[in-house]
Protein backbone atom coordinates (compact mmCIF):
# COMPACT_ATOMS: atom_id res chain seq x y z
CA UNK A 1 0.00 0.00 0.00
CA UNK A 2 1.23 3.45 -0.81
CA UNK A 3 2.21 5.61 2.13
CA UNK A 4 -0.35 8.23 1.20
CA UNK A 5 -2.73 9.06 -1.61
CA UNK A 6 -1.42 12.02 -3.63
CA UNK A 7 -4.62 13.84 -4.55
CA UNK A 8 -2.64 16.32 -6.67
CA UNK A 9 -2.04 13.71 -9.35
CA UNK A 10 -5.80 13.13 -9.56
CA UNK A 11 -6.52 16.86 -9.78
CA UNK A 12 -3.82 17.45 -12.37
CA UNK A 13 -4.99 14.62 -14.60
CA UNK A 14 -8.74 15.15 -14.10
CA UNK A 15 -9.23 17.10 -17.38
CA UNK A 16 -7.46 14.27 -19.23
CA UNK A 17 -9.50 11.57 -17.50
CA UNK A 18 -12.66 13.46 -18.48
CA UNK A 19 -11.45 13.81 -22.06
CA UNK A 20 -10.54 10.13 -22.09
CA UNK A 21 -13.91 9.16 -20.62
CA UNK A 22 -15.65 11.11 -23.39
CA UNK A 23 -13.70 9.18 -26.01
CA UNK A 24 -14.46 5.91 -24.20
CA UNK A 25 -18.17 6.78 -24.31
CA UNK A 26 -17.99 7.79 -27.97
CA UNK A 27 -16.10 4.68 -29.03
CA UNK A 28 -18.51 2.48 -27.06
CA UNK A 29 -21.62 4.07 -28.57
CA UNK A 30 -20.24 3.60 -32.09
CA UNK A 31 -19.29 0.01 -31.25
CA UNK A 32 -22.72 -0.78 -29.80
CA UNK A 33 -24.58 0.87 -32.68
CA UNK A 34 -22.68 -0.72 -35.55
CA UNK A 35 -22.28 -3.96 -33.63
CA UNK A 36 -26.07 -4.22 -33.30
CA UNK A 37 -26.84 -3.38 -36.92
CA UNK A 38 -24.16 -5.67 -38.33
CA UNK A 39 -24.88 -8.35 -35.74
CA UNK A 40 -28.55 -8.50 -36.71
CA UNK A 41 -27.67 -9.23 -40.34
CA UNK A 42 -25.05 -11.78 -39.40
CA UNK A 43 -27.45 -13.47 -36.98
CA UNK A 44 -30.08 -13.72 -39.71
CA UNK A 45 -27.43 -14.95 -42.16
CA UNK A 46 -26.46 -17.74 -39.80
CA UNK A 47 -30.10 -18.87 -39.59
CA UNK A 48 -30.30 -19.59 -43.34
CA UNK A 49 -30.68 -23.34 -43.67
CA UNK A 50 -28.52 -23.95 -46.76
CA UNK A 51 -24.88 -24.34 -45.66
CA UNK A 52 -23.39 -22.60 -48.72
CA UNK A 53 -25.36 -19.48 -47.84
CA UNK A 54 -24.72 -19.48 -44.10
CA UNK A 55 -21.07 -20.48 -43.98
CA UNK A 56 -19.59 -16.94 -44.39
CA UNK A 57 -21.68 -15.82 -41.41
CA UNK A 58 -20.74 -18.88 -39.38
CA UNK A 59 -17.05 -18.21 -40.03
CA UNK A 60 -17.36 -14.53 -39.27
CA UNK A 61 -18.64 -15.48 -35.83
CA UNK A 62 -16.02 -18.23 -35.46
CA UNK A 63 -13.21 -15.78 -36.17
CA UNK A 64 -14.34 -12.87 -34.02
CA UNK A 65 -15.44 -15.02 -31.09
CA UNK A 66 -12.50 -17.38 -31.37
CA UNK A 67 -9.57 -14.93 -31.31
CA UNK A 68 -8.53 -12.49 -28.57
CA UNK A 69 -9.79 -8.94 -29.01
CA UNK A 70 -6.31 -7.49 -28.51
CA UNK A 71 -4.97 -9.65 -31.35
CA UNK A 72 -7.80 -8.45 -33.59
CA UNK A 73 -7.03 -4.86 -32.61
CA UNK A 74 -3.34 -5.15 -33.54
CA UNK A 75 -4.19 -7.12 -36.69
CA UNK A 76 -6.67 -4.48 -37.88
CA UNK A 77 -4.68 -1.41 -36.84
CA UNK A 78 -1.26 -2.46 -38.09
CA UNK A 79 -2.12 -4.82 -40.97
CA UNK A 80 -5.68 -4.98 -42.34
CA UNK A 81 -6.77 -1.32 -42.27
CA UNK A 82 -3.43 0.16 -43.48
CA UNK A 83 -3.62 -2.23 -46.44
CA UNK A 84 -7.06 -0.86 -47.36
CA UNK A 85 -6.85 2.84 -46.48
CA UNK A 86 -4.14 5.48 -46.50
CA UNK A 87 -3.97 6.43 -42.87
CA UNK A 88 -6.22 5.20 -40.10
CA UNK A 89 -6.11 6.72 -36.64
CA UNK A 90 -5.85 4.49 -33.59
CA UNK A 91 -9.30 5.65 -32.48
CA UNK A 92 -10.87 4.65 -35.81
CA UNK A 93 -9.20 1.24 -35.65
CA UNK A 94 -10.54 0.80 -32.13
CA UNK A 95 -14.09 1.65 -33.23
CA UNK A 96 -13.90 -0.68 -36.24
CA UNK A 97 -12.51 -3.59 -34.22
CA UNK A 98 -15.02 -3.15 -31.38
CA UNK A 99 -17.92 -2.97 -33.86
CA UNK A 100 -16.83 -6.06 -35.78
CA UNK A 101 -16.13 -7.98 -32.59
CA UNK A 102 -19.39 -7.13 -30.86
CA UNK A 103 -21.32 -7.90 -34.05
CA UNK A 104 -20.29 -11.54 -33.65
CA UNK A 105 -21.67 -11.71 -30.13
CA UNK A 106 -24.81 -9.70 -30.98
CA UNK A 107 -25.46 -12.12 -33.87
CA UNK A 108 -25.54 -15.06 -31.47
CA UNK A 109 -27.72 -13.16 -28.96
CA UNK A 110 -30.10 -12.27 -31.77
CA UNK A 111 -30.27 -15.85 -33.01
CA UNK A 112 -30.80 -17.19 -29.50
CA UNK A 113 -33.61 -14.65 -28.89
CA UNK A 114 -35.51 -15.77 -31.99
CA UNK A 115 -34.92 -19.48 -31.38
CA UNK A 116 -36.17 -19.16 -27.81
CA UNK A 117 -39.71 -18.46 -29.02
CA UNK A 118 -42.09 -21.38 -29.34
CA UNK A 119 -42.44 -22.54 -32.97
CA UNK A 120 -46.16 -22.74 -32.43
CA UNK A 121 -46.43 -18.95 -32.39
CA UNK A 122 -45.00 -18.54 -35.87
CA UNK A 123 -47.09 -21.49 -37.12
CA UNK A 124 -50.26 -20.00 -35.63
CA UNK A 125 -49.55 -16.62 -37.22
CA UNK A 126 -48.87 -18.31 -40.57
CA UNK A 127 -52.15 -20.18 -40.34
CA UNK A 128 -53.93 -16.85 -39.89
CA UNK A 129 -52.62 -15.88 -43.31
CA UNK A 130 -49.64 -13.68 -42.34
CA UNK A 131 -46.67 -13.68 -44.68
CA UNK A 132 -43.23 -14.82 -43.43
CA UNK A 133 -42.09 -11.21 -43.14
CA UNK A 134 -45.25 -10.17 -41.30
CA UNK A 135 -44.73 -13.03 -38.84
CA UNK A 136 -41.20 -11.83 -38.17
CA UNK A 137 -42.18 -8.18 -37.90
CA UNK A 138 -45.35 -8.45 -35.77
CA UNK A 139 -45.04 -11.70 -33.84
CA UNK A 140 -41.49 -12.97 -33.47
CA UNK A 141 -39.25 -9.87 -33.32
CA UNK A 142 -41.17 -7.85 -30.68
CA UNK A 143 -41.08 -10.78 -28.28
CA UNK A 144 -37.54 -11.82 -29.15
CA UNK A 145 -36.28 -8.27 -28.66
CA UNK A 146 -37.57 -8.22 -25.10
CA UNK A 147 -35.70 -11.41 -24.33
CA UNK A 148 -32.53 -10.12 -25.96
CA UNK A 149 -32.20 -7.07 -23.71
CA UNK A 150 -30.46 -8.69 -20.70
CA UNK A 151 -27.79 -10.51 -22.78
CA UNK A 152 -27.37 -7.44 -25.02
CA UNK A 153 -26.83 -5.35 -21.90
CA UNK A 154 -24.08 -7.71 -20.80
CA UNK A 155 -22.47 -7.42 -24.21
CA UNK A 156 -22.58 -3.59 -24.10
CA UNK A 157 -20.92 -3.55 -20.69
CA UNK A 158 -18.21 -5.95 -21.88
CA UNK A 159 -17.65 -3.78 -24.96
CA UNK A 160 -17.32 -0.61 -22.88
CA UNK A 161 -14.73 -2.24 -20.67
CA UNK A 162 -12.88 -3.80 -23.62
CA UNK A 163 -12.44 -0.35 -25.16
CA UNK A 164 -9.60 0.05 -22.61
CA UNK A 165 -7.49 -2.11 -24.93
CA UNK A 166 -7.26 0.98 -27.16
CA UNK A 167 -4.52 2.23 -24.79
CA UNK A 168 -2.22 -0.41 -26.31
CA UNK A 169 -2.27 1.37 -29.69
CA UNK A 170 -2.33 4.85 -28.07
CA UNK A 171 -5.97 5.70 -28.69
CA UNK A 172 -6.31 8.45 -26.04
CA UNK A 173 -9.22 6.92 -24.12
CA UNK A 174 -9.64 6.64 -20.36
CA UNK A 175 -7.09 3.94 -19.58
CA UNK A 176 -4.52 5.57 -21.89
CA UNK A 177 -4.52 8.66 -19.66
CA UNK A 178 -4.38 6.50 -16.55
CA UNK A 179 -1.23 4.84 -17.87
CA UNK A 180 0.19 8.22 -18.85
CA UNK A 181 -0.29 9.51 -15.29
CA UNK A 182 1.43 6.42 -13.87
CA UNK A 183 4.22 6.85 -16.43
CA UNK A 184 4.80 10.43 -15.33
CA UNK A 185 4.82 9.95 -11.56
CA UNK A 186 5.63 6.27 -11.16
CA UNK A 187 2.81 6.02 -8.66
CA UNK A 188 0.21 3.36 -9.32
CA UNK A 189 -2.64 3.86 -6.85
CA UNK A 190 -3.95 7.30 -7.68
CA UNK A 191 -4.43 7.04 -11.43
CA UNK A 192 -5.59 3.41 -11.59
CA UNK A 193 -8.14 3.91 -8.79
CA UNK A 194 -9.52 6.98 -10.57
CA UNK A 195 -9.70 5.16 -13.89
CA UNK A 196 -11.46 2.21 -12.22
CA UNK A 197 -13.98 4.60 -10.63
CA UNK A 198 -14.67 6.23 -13.97
CA UNK A 199 -15.30 2.86 -15.63
CA UNK A 200 -17.53 1.83 -12.73
CA UNK A 201 -19.63 4.99 -13.09
CA UNK A 202 -19.94 4.38 -16.84
CA UNK A 203 -20.92 0.71 -16.57
CA UNK A 204 -23.34 1.38 -13.69
CA UNK A 205 -25.06 4.13 -15.70
CA UNK A 206 -25.39 1.70 -18.58
CA UNK A 207 -26.76 -0.99 -16.26
CA UNK A 208 -29.47 1.29 -14.87
CA UNK A 209 -30.37 2.53 -18.33
CA UNK A 210 -30.85 -1.05 -19.50
CA UNK A 211 -32.83 -1.98 -16.37
CA UNK A 212 -35.14 0.93 -17.07
CA UNK A 213 -35.58 -0.18 -20.68
CA UNK A 214 -36.33 -3.71 -19.53
CA UNK A 215 -39.02 -2.48 -17.12
CA UNK A 216 -40.59 -0.28 -19.79
CA UNK A 217 -40.89 -3.17 -22.21
CA UNK A 218 -42.16 -5.60 -19.60
CA UNK A 219 -45.66 -6.78 -20.45
CA UNK A 220 -46.29 -9.05 -17.50
CA UNK B 1 -36.34 -28.44 21.88
CA UNK B 2 -36.21 -26.64 18.57
CA UNK B 3 -33.70 -24.11 19.87
CA UNK B 4 -31.40 -26.85 21.03
CA UNK B 5 -31.40 -28.41 17.60
CA UNK B 6 -30.69 -25.08 15.96
CA UNK B 7 -27.81 -24.19 18.26
CA UNK B 8 -26.48 -27.73 17.79
CA UNK B 9 -26.55 -27.18 14.05
CA UNK B 10 -24.71 -23.88 14.42
CA UNK B 11 -22.09 -25.51 16.58
CA UNK B 12 -21.54 -28.25 14.02
CA UNK B 13 -21.23 -25.70 11.24
CA UNK B 14 -18.71 -23.66 13.23
CA UNK B 15 -16.72 -26.78 14.01
CA UNK B 16 -16.62 -27.76 10.33
CA UNK B 17 -15.55 -24.23 9.47
CA UNK B 18 -12.78 -24.27 12.05
CA UNK B 19 -11.57 -27.66 10.87
CA UNK B 20 -11.48 -26.37 7.31
CA UNK B 21 -9.50 -23.29 8.34
CA UNK B 22 -7.09 -25.40 10.34
CA UNK B 23 -6.60 -27.70 7.36
CA UNK B 24 -5.87 -24.71 5.13
CA UNK B 25 -3.44 -23.33 7.67
CA UNK B 26 -1.40 -26.51 7.87
CA UNK B 27 -1.44 -26.92 4.10
CA UNK B 28 -0.04 -23.41 3.67
CA UNK B 29 2.59 -23.94 6.32
CA UNK B 30 3.65 -27.17 4.67
CA UNK B 31 4.25 -25.58 1.28
CA UNK B 32 6.04 -22.62 2.82
CA UNK B 33 8.34 -24.98 4.70
CA UNK B 34 9.18 -27.09 1.69
CA UNK B 35 9.93 -23.95 -0.33
CA UNK B 36 12.27 -22.66 2.31
CA UNK B 37 14.02 -26.01 2.50
CA UNK B 38 14.37 -26.16 -1.28
CA UNK B 39 16.06 -22.80 -1.32
CA UNK B 40 18.25 -23.61 1.61
CA UNK B 41 19.63 -26.66 -0.19
CA UNK B 42 20.48 -24.63 -3.28
CA UNK B 43 22.03 -21.72 -1.51
CA UNK B 44 23.24 -21.64 2.08
CA UNK B 45 21.96 -18.17 3.02
CA UNK B 46 21.35 -15.99 -0.07
CA UNK B 47 17.85 -15.82 -1.52
CA UNK B 48 17.13 -16.25 -5.22
CA UNK B 49 16.70 -12.69 -6.51
CA UNK B 50 13.77 -11.65 -8.66
CA UNK B 51 14.90 -9.24 -11.35
CA UNK B 52 12.32 -7.58 -13.59
CA UNK B 53 12.58 -6.22 -17.12
CA UNK B 54 10.60 -5.19 -20.18
CA UNK B 55 12.12 -7.21 -23.00
CA UNK B 56 11.25 -5.21 -26.13
CA UNK B 57 14.24 -2.87 -25.99
CA UNK B 58 16.85 -4.35 -28.30
CA UNK B 59 19.80 -4.56 -27.97
CA UNK B 60 19.52 -4.06 -24.20
CA UNK B 61 16.88 -6.67 -23.55
CA UNK B 62 14.71 -8.52 -26.00
CA UNK B 63 13.28 -11.98 -26.50
CA UNK B 64 15.07 -14.50 -28.66
CA UNK B 65 13.20 -17.80 -28.89
CA UNK B 66 11.56 -16.98 -25.57
CA UNK B 67 14.81 -16.22 -23.72
CA UNK B 68 15.60 -12.72 -22.47
CA UNK B 69 18.88 -11.79 -24.14
CA UNK B 70 20.80 -8.57 -24.66
CA UNK B 71 23.42 -6.33 -23.10
CA UNK B 72 21.54 -6.00 -19.81
CA UNK B 73 20.95 -9.75 -19.58
CA UNK B 74 24.68 -10.50 -19.99
CA UNK B 75 25.76 -7.72 -17.65
CA UNK B 76 23.22 -8.80 -15.03
CA UNK B 77 24.56 -12.34 -15.20
CA UNK B 78 28.15 -11.15 -14.79
CA UNK B 79 27.28 -8.87 -11.86
CA UNK B 80 25.17 -11.38 -9.93
CA UNK B 81 27.68 -14.16 -10.53
CA UNK B 82 30.31 -11.82 -9.10
CA UNK B 83 28.09 -11.06 -6.10
CA UNK B 84 27.28 -14.77 -5.65
CA UNK B 85 23.53 -14.60 -6.12
CA UNK B 86 21.18 -16.85 -8.03
CA UNK B 87 18.43 -14.97 -9.82
CA UNK B 88 15.38 -15.17 -12.00
CA UNK B 89 15.17 -12.65 -14.84
CA UNK B 90 11.49 -12.04 -15.58
CA UNK B 91 9.89 -10.21 -18.49
CA UNK B 92 7.04 -8.51 -16.63
CA UNK B 93 6.61 -5.31 -18.69
CA UNK B 94 7.57 -1.73 -17.91
CA UNK B 95 4.64 -0.47 -15.79
CA UNK B 96 4.24 -3.73 -13.82
CA UNK B 97 7.98 -3.67 -13.13
CA UNK B 98 7.72 -0.13 -11.74
CA UNK B 99 4.76 -1.16 -9.58
CA UNK B 100 6.45 -4.35 -8.32
CA UNK B 101 9.54 -2.38 -7.32
CA UNK B 102 7.44 0.20 -5.51
CA UNK B 103 5.70 -2.60 -3.61
CA UNK B 104 9.03 -4.37 -3.01
CA UNK B 105 7.70 -7.52 -4.75
CA UNK B 106 10.85 -7.64 -6.87
CA UNK B 107 14.44 -7.19 -5.82
CA UNK B 108 15.43 -4.90 -8.66
CA UNK B 109 14.91 -3.94 -12.28
CA UNK B 110 17.44 -4.30 -15.09
CA UNK B 111 15.81 -2.71 -18.12
CA UNK B 112 18.00 0.13 -19.45
CA UNK B 113 16.46 2.34 -16.77
CA UNK B 114 17.68 5.93 -16.81
CA UNK B 115 18.74 7.39 -13.48
CA UNK B 116 16.94 10.68 -12.87
CA UNK B 117 15.81 12.82 -9.93
CA UNK B 118 12.10 12.09 -10.37
CA UNK B 119 12.68 8.37 -10.08
CA UNK B 120 15.15 8.79 -7.21
CA UNK B 121 12.28 10.07 -5.08
CA UNK B 122 10.56 6.68 -5.24
CA UNK B 123 13.43 4.27 -5.96
CA UNK B 124 17.14 3.69 -5.28
CA UNK B 125 19.69 3.19 -8.05
CA UNK B 126 22.96 1.32 -8.52
CA UNK B 127 26.02 3.10 -9.87
CA UNK B 128 25.57 3.90 -13.58
CA UNK B 129 26.51 1.21 -16.11
CA UNK B 130 25.74 2.89 -19.42
CA UNK B 131 25.82 6.37 -20.95
CA UNK B 132 23.14 7.24 -23.43
CA UNK B 133 21.42 10.08 -25.25
CA UNK B 134 18.19 10.36 -27.26
CA UNK B 135 17.56 10.16 -30.96
CA UNK B 136 14.71 11.12 -33.25
CA UNK B 137 13.76 8.38 -35.71
CA UNK B 138 11.63 9.33 -38.72
CA UNK B 139 10.69 8.09 -42.18
CA UNK B 140 13.13 9.01 -44.93
CA UNK B 141 12.21 12.22 -46.67
CA UNK B 142 10.72 13.95 -43.63
CA UNK B 143 13.94 15.97 -43.48
CA UNK B 144 14.10 16.68 -39.77
CA UNK B 145 17.38 18.24 -38.68
CA UNK B 146 16.98 19.13 -35.01
CA UNK B 147 14.71 18.65 -32.01
CA UNK B 148 12.91 21.88 -32.96
CA UNK B 149 11.32 20.00 -35.86
CA UNK B 150 9.33 17.97 -33.31
CA UNK B 151 6.99 20.93 -32.80
CA UNK B 152 3.60 20.40 -34.40
CA UNK B 153 4.13 16.79 -35.51
CA UNK B 154 2.92 13.54 -33.97
CA UNK B 155 5.62 11.99 -31.80
CA UNK B 156 5.64 8.37 -30.65
CA UNK B 157 7.30 7.42 -27.35
CA UNK B 158 7.20 4.57 -24.88
CA UNK B 159 4.95 5.48 -21.96
CA UNK B 160 6.85 6.54 -18.83
CA UNK B 161 10.32 6.49 -20.36
CA UNK B 162 12.91 9.25 -20.60
CA UNK B 163 12.30 9.35 -24.36
CA UNK B 164 8.89 10.70 -23.40
CA UNK B 165 10.44 13.32 -21.09
CA UNK B 166 12.89 14.33 -23.82
CA UNK B 167 10.02 14.89 -26.26
CA UNK B 168 8.03 16.71 -23.59
CA UNK B 169 10.95 19.04 -22.97
CA UNK B 170 10.60 20.22 -26.58
CA UNK B 171 6.83 20.35 -27.10
CA UNK B 172 5.52 20.60 -23.54
CA UNK B 173 4.07 18.17 -20.99
CA UNK B 174 0.78 16.38 -21.70
CA UNK B 175 0.90 17.63 -25.29
CA UNK B 176 -1.66 15.56 -27.19
CA UNK B 177 0.78 15.28 -30.12
CA UNK B 178 2.83 12.88 -27.99
CA UNK B 179 1.43 9.38 -28.34
CA UNK B 180 2.48 7.05 -25.55
CA UNK B 181 2.89 3.38 -26.44
CA UNK B 182 3.25 0.24 -24.42
CA UNK B 183 6.70 -0.49 -25.84
CA UNK B 184 9.23 1.08 -28.21
CA UNK B 185 8.58 -1.77 -30.63
CA UNK B 186 4.92 -0.71 -30.98
CA UNK B 187 6.00 2.95 -31.31
CA UNK B 188 8.17 1.93 -34.30
CA UNK B 189 5.17 0.05 -35.77
CA UNK B 190 3.14 3.23 -35.38
CA UNK B 191 5.85 5.15 -37.25
CA UNK B 192 5.71 2.66 -40.11
CA UNK B 193 1.93 2.88 -40.04
CA UNK B 194 1.88 6.69 -40.20
CA UNK B 195 0.24 7.10 -36.78
CA UNK B 196 3.25 9.19 -35.75
CA UNK B 197 5.82 11.19 -37.73
CA UNK B 198 8.75 10.55 -35.41
CA UNK B 199 9.80 8.33 -32.52
CA UNK B 200 12.03 9.63 -29.72
CA UNK B 201 14.04 6.94 -27.98
CA UNK B 202 17.50 6.04 -26.68
CA UNK B 203 20.29 6.27 -29.25
CA UNK B 204 21.40 2.63 -29.10
CA UNK B 205 17.87 1.38 -29.66
CA UNK B 206 17.38 3.83 -32.53
CA UNK B 207 20.67 2.78 -34.14
CA UNK B 208 19.75 -0.87 -33.80
CA UNK B 209 16.35 -0.29 -35.42
CA UNK B 210 17.77 1.68 -38.34
CA UNK B 211 20.48 -0.93 -38.89
CA UNK B 212 18.28 -4.00 -38.60
CA UNK B 213 15.41 -2.65 -40.72
CA UNK B 214 16.89 -1.34 -43.97
CA UNK B 215 13.49 -1.93 -45.64
CA UNK B 216 11.75 0.43 -43.22
CA UNK B 217 13.49 3.43 -44.85
CA UNK B 218 14.00 5.40 -41.67
CA UNK B 219 16.63 7.88 -40.57
CA UNK B 220 17.78 8.81 -37.09
CA UNK B 221 19.27 12.08 -35.87
CA UNK B 222 20.45 13.30 -32.51
CA UNK B 223 20.46 16.79 -31.02
CA UNK B 224 23.12 17.23 -28.35
CA UNK B 225 21.94 20.73 -27.46
CA UNK B 226 18.43 19.63 -26.54
CA UNK B 227 18.90 16.05 -25.42
CA UNK B 228 21.37 15.83 -22.57
CA UNK B 229 23.32 12.66 -21.86
CA UNK B 230 21.89 10.26 -19.31
CA UNK B 231 23.00 7.15 -17.45
CA UNK B 232 21.38 3.77 -16.99
CA UNK B 233 21.39 1.97 -13.66
CA UNK B 234 19.74 -0.98 -11.96
CA UNK B 235 16.69 0.23 -10.08
CA UNK B 236 15.85 -0.95 -6.54
CA UNK B 237 12.96 -0.43 -4.14
CA UNK B 238 13.58 2.54 -1.84
CA UNK B 239 15.83 1.54 1.04
CA UNK B 240 16.91 -1.80 -0.46
CA UNK B 241 19.91 -3.35 1.29
CA UNK B 242 21.04 -4.99 -1.93
CA UNK B 243 22.27 -1.75 -3.51
CA UNK B 244 25.69 -1.74 -1.81
CA UNK B 245 26.41 -5.37 -2.75
CA UNK B 246 25.34 -4.93 -6.36
CA UNK B 247 27.30 -1.66 -6.62
CA UNK B 248 30.48 -3.38 -5.45
CA UNK B 249 30.02 -6.27 -7.90
CA UNK B 250 29.17 -3.91 -10.78
CA UNK B 251 32.26 -1.80 -10.14
CA UNK B 252 34.41 -4.94 -10.12
CA UNK B 253 32.86 -6.12 -13.40
CA UNK B 254 33.55 -2.72 -15.00
CA UNK B 255 37.13 -2.60 -13.70
CA UNK B 256 38.16 -6.18 -14.50
CA UNK B 257 37.31 -5.96 -18.19
CA UNK B 258 34.24 -8.24 -18.20
CA UNK B 259 32.09 -5.19 -18.88
CA UNK B 260 34.20 -4.19 -21.92
CA UNK B 261 33.86 -7.72 -23.32
CA UNK B 262 30.06 -7.68 -23.04
CA UNK B 263 29.90 -4.14 -24.42
CA UNK B 264 31.97 -5.06 -27.44
CA UNK B 265 29.84 -8.11 -28.10
CA UNK B 266 26.61 -6.08 -28.28
CA UNK B 267 27.74 -2.70 -29.61
CA UNK B 268 30.87 -3.60 -31.55
CA UNK B 269 32.97 -0.86 -29.95
CA UNK B 270 35.18 -0.22 -26.93
CA UNK B 271 33.32 1.36 -24.01
CA UNK B 272 34.50 4.49 -22.26
CA UNK B 273 34.54 3.03 -18.74
CA UNK B 274 36.26 6.10 -17.26
CA UNK B 275 33.12 8.15 -17.89
CA UNK B 276 31.05 5.57 -15.97
CA UNK B 277 33.42 5.32 -13.04
CA UNK B 278 33.59 9.11 -12.83
CA UNK B 279 29.82 9.41 -12.94
CA UNK B 280 29.58 6.84 -10.16
CA UNK B 281 31.31 9.23 -7.77
CB contact under 8 Å between A180 and B159, yes or no, is yes
Whether this model's ipTM surpasses 0.85 comes out as: no
Rounded CA-CA distance B101/B96 in Å is: 8
CATH 3.40.50.1370 fits B134-222, yes or no: no
First vs last C-alpha separation in chain A: 50
* Burial of residue B52, with CB atoms counted within 10 A of its CB: 0-12 exposed, 13-18 middle, 19 or more buried: buried
Which one of B98, B181, B182 has the shortest CB-CB distance to A186?
B98
Q: Report chain B's mean pLDDT, rounded to a whole number.
A: 86
Tell me how many degrees the CA angle B250-B251-B252 measures, rounded to the nearest 5.
90
Q: What share of chain B is helix, strand, coil (3-state, %, to 5)?
A: 50, 25, 30
- Per-position b or e across B249-260, b if 16+ CB within 10 A of its CB: bbbebbeeebbb
pLDDT of residue A69: 97
Omega cis (within 30) before A97: no
Domains B49-131+231-280 and B134-222 share a fold: yes
Q: Is pTM beyond 0.90 here?
A: no
Shortest Cα–Cα distance, A59 to chain B (Å): 28
Nearest C-alpha in A relative to B105: A1
Query: Domains of chain B: which residue ranges?
Result: 49-131+231-280, 134-222
Rounded CA-CA distance B211/B205 in Å is: 10
Domains of chain A: 7-217 (1.10.3720.10)
Q: What is the CATH number assigned to the segment(s) B49-131+231-280?
A: 3.40.190.10
Per-10-residue mean pLDDT of chain A, 220 residues long, equals 76 95 97 96 93 94 97 94 88 97 97 92 93 91 91 96 95 94 83 96 95 85
- pLDDT tens digit string along B74-111? 999 999 999 999 999 999 999 889 989 988 999 999 99
First vs last C-alpha separation in chain B: 83
To probe the interface with B, which of A184, A187, A189 has the most B CB atoms within 10 Å?
A184
- pLDDT tens digit string along B208-217? 888 888 888 9
Amino acid sequence: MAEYFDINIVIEYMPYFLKGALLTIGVSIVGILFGCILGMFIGMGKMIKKWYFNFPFVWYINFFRGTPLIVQLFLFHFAVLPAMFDSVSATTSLMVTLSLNSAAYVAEIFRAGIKSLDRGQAEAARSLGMSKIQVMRYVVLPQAFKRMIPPLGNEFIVLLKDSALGAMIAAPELFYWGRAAVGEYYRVWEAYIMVALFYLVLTLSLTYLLNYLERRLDTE
Amino acid sequence: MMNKYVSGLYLTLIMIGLLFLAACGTADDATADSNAEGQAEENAEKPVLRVGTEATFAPFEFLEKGEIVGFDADLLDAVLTEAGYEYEYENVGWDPMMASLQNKDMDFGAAAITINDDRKQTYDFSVPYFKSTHMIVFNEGAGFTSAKDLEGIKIGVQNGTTGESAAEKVVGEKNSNILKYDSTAVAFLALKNGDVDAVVTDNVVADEYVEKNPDANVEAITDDETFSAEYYGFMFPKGSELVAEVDAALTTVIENGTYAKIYKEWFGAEPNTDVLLEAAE
